[in-house]
Structure 1
Amino acid sequence: MRPLVADIDLDALRHNYQLACRCAPQSHSVAVIKADAYGHGALACAQALQNQAPAFAVASIEEALTLRQGGITQPIVLLEGIFSADELPLVERHGFWIAVHSQWQVDVLLAATPLKPIPVWLKVDSGMHRLGFAPNETAAIWRQLSAAPSVARLHLMSHFATADARDSDYFHQQMATLQALASELKAPLCLANSPATLAWPIAHGDWNRPGVMLYGSDPLEVPNAITQQLRPVMTLRSEIIALRDLAAGEPVGYSGRWRAPKRSRIAVVACGYGDGYDRHAVDGTPVLVNGQRCAIAGKVSMDMLTVDVTDVSDAAIGSDVVLWGTARNGEVLPIDEVARYCDTISYTLLTGVLPRAPRRYHGRSA
Structure 2
Amino acid sequence: MRPLIATIRLDHLRHNYQLARAAHGDKTLAVLKANGYGHGAARCGLALADIADGFAVACLEEALELRAAGIAKPILLLEGVFEAEELEAVDQHGLWMAVASEEQLRMVERANPSRPFNVWLMLDSGMHREGFLPENYHAAWHRLEASGKVGSITKMTHFARADEPEVPMTFAQLETFDAVVKGLPAGDESVANSAGILCHPRAQRNWGRVGIALYGVTPLPAGCGQGEALRPVMRFSSKVFGVRELAAGEPIGYGDNFVTERPTRVGLVACGYADGYPRRASTGSPVLIDGHRSRLIGRVSMDMLTVDLTDLPQAGVGSEVELWGEAVSVNEVAAHAGTIGYELLCNVKRAHFHYR
TM tier relative to shorter chain: over 0.9
1:33-67, Cα deviation, whole Å (9 max, x unpaired): 00000000000000000001111100010000011
Structure 2 distance, partners of 1:44, 1:352, is 17
Contact 2:199–2:225 (CA<8 Å) still a contact in 1?
no
Cα distance in 2 between the residues matched to 1:274 and 1:319: 22
Deviation at 1:111, TM superposition (A): 2.3
Once the two structures are overlaid, the 10-residue window that deviates more, 312-321 or 87-96, is 312-321
Mapped to 2, the partners of 1:182 and 1:124 lie a distance apart of: 9
Task: State the match for 1:317 in structure 2.
Answer: 317
Contact 1:182 1:189 in 2 (8 A): no
Partner of 2:291: 291
CA contact (8 A) 2:33 2:41 kept: yes
> 1:34 & 1:225 partners in 2: Cα distance?
24
Worse-superposed segment, 179-188 or 96-105 = 179-188
* Structure-1 separation of matches of 2:187 and 2:337: 42
**Corresponding residue number in structure 2 for 1:351:** 346
* Contact 2:243-2:317 within 8 A present in 1 as well: yes
| SS in structure 1 at match of 2:36 | helix
2:55 matches 1:60? no
Q: Secondary structure at 2:239's aligned position in 1?
A: strand
Q: Is the 8 A contact 2:247 2:262 kept in 1?
A: yes
Give, in angstroms, the shift of residue 113 of structure 1.
2.6
Gaps of 5+ in 2: none
1: CA distance between counterparts of 2:133 and 2:243?
A: 59
1:335 aligned residue (326, 330, 337): 330
Q: Residue 199 of structure 1 corresponds to which residue in structure 2?
A: 199
Whether the 8 Å contact between 1:166 and 1:222 is mirrored in structure 2 is: no
Return the alpha-carbon distance in structure 2 between the equivalents of residues 176 and 37 of structure 1. 31
SS of residue in 1 equivalent to 2:62: helix
Aligned-partner Cα distance in 1 for 2:302–2:187: 51
Contact 1:197 1:208 in 2 (8 A): yes
Query: Do residues 213 (structure 1) and 213 (structure 2) align?
Result: yes
The residue number in structure 1 matching 2:251 is 251
What is aligned with 1:360?
354
Q: Does the CA-based 8 Å contact 2:23-2:198 persist in structure 1?
A: yes
Q: TM-score, normalised by structure 1?
A: 0.95
Q: Distance in 2 between matches of 1:120 and 1:255?
A: 53
Displacement after TM superposition at 1:187 (Å): 4.1
SS in structure 1 opposite 2:130? coil
Alpha-carbon offset, residue 112 of structure 1: 2.2
Paired residues for 1:1-366 under 5 Å: 1-25=1-25, 27-185=26-184, 186-224=186-224, 226-326=226-326, 332-354=327-349, 356-362=350-356
The AA in structure 2 aligned to 1:60 is C
Quick check: 2:20–2:210 contact (8 Å CA) kept in 1?
yes
Displacement, 1:148?
2.9
Compute the displacement of 1:28 (Å): 0.6
> Using the alignment, how far apart are the partners of 2:283 and 2:112 within structure 1?
60
Looking at structure 2, the residues matched to 341 and 259 of structure 1 have their Cα atoms a distance apart, in angstroms, of 19
C-alpha contact (below 8 Å) 1:165/1:222 kept by paired residues: no
Percent identity over the alignment is: 47
CA distance in 1, matches of 2:125, 2:302: 42
| Separation in structure 1 between the aligned mates of residue 197 and residue 225 of structure 2, nearest angstrom | 13
Corresponding residue SS for 1:153: strand
Change (3 A) 1:47 1:136: same
Structure 1 CA distance, aligned partners of 2:38 and 2:44? 10
Q: TM-score, length-normalised on structure 2?
A: 0.98
d(CA) in 1 for partners of 2:256, 2:313: 25
Conservation of the 8 A alpha-carbon contact between 1:182 and 1:188 = no
C-alpha contact (below 8 Å) 2:33/2:56 kept by paired residues: yes
Question: What amino acid sits opposite 2:51 in the alignment?
Answer: Q
Q: How far apart, in 1, do the equivalents of 2:263 and 2:113 lie?
A: 73
Q: Which amino acid aligns with 1:17?
A: Y
Matching residue's letter, 1:346: G
1:307-339, CA deviations, whole angstroms, 9 ceiling, x for partnerless residues?
01111132021111000003xxxxx11100100
Letter in 2 for 1:339: A
Q: What secondary structure is seen at the aligned counterpart in 1 of 2:323?
A: strand
Following superposition, the deviation at residue 136 of structure 1 comes to 0.8
